[in-house]
Structure 1
């Protein structure tokens, strides 16, 4: 899944929603269903997501929406998924979003969509 390197360690739920294309209420629901998805909370009680959390979200999204798994089926797949070993990468260098080479066409399409969103965000900074 993607690695977001924007010189930031944490992302808000609204930023993650824009980056992943998953609505905030869905992200909150997934937290209740998938034990791997447990973002921390800051002192104000707001969720703060890491790159690792984003990789897990993208895997859940792919399993449920693209591959047609049920929540129970996705839970079984996620038991063997380690986002720290996932080599997929998105980086931002010199204000440009770059994708690592991806052989999986479905995953590449997801990353292309995320790349477009990141470019839009960067253009507004």
Structure 2
């Protein structure tokens, strides 16, 4: 049975969704201070929707974009770890382009250029 959107997820549900072992999620909790799921009796973890989004972003940074843990920590701390959809205003539930997006993308480009020595 699938949970409704916004429901808390257990560590096993989230790990299964991302095809990751549970110990990886527990490790990320030690490395990413922003990640603090609720812990109930017996230290059972419950990931709130914001926690789930953060874990998905961490997973994307590490396993898709190829960041190191330290690089992903910096990206999140600098605000570049936010999903791009968070920067886009919505119209009828769909992301739309915005004039505010261009300066953010230019800042990201400048940061990347400095990182590779251009």
TM superposition score category, shorter chain reference = 0.5 to 0.7
Task: Determine if contact 1:20/1:57 at 8 Å carries over to the other structure.
Answer: no
Gaps of 5+ in 1: 89-99, 103-125
TM-score by length of 1: 0.59
Kindly report structure 1 stretches of 4+ aligned residues shifted beyond 2 Å. Answer: 85-88
Residues 7-86 of structure 1: pairs in structure 2 closer than 5 A: 9-79=7-77, 80=79, 81=81, 86=86
The alpha-carbon deviation at position 43 of structure 1 amounts to 2.6
The alpha-carbon deviation at position 101 of structure 1 amounts to 6.1
3-state DSSP of counterpart to 1:61 = helix
| Mean CA deviation greater in 42-51 or 25-34 | 42-51
3-state DSSP of counterpart to 2:62 = helix
The alpha-carbon deviation at position 82 of structure 1 amounts to 5.1
Deviations 1:24-79 (A, max 9, x none): 00000000000111111113320111111111111111111111111111001111
Aligned to 1:6: 4
Gaps of 5+ in 2: 96-118
Which structure carries more relative contact order (alpha carbon 8 Å, separation 6+)? Answer: 1
Residues 88-107 of structure 1: pairs in structure 2 closer than 5 A: none
Distance in structure 2 (CA, Å) of the matches to 1:66 and 1:7: 24
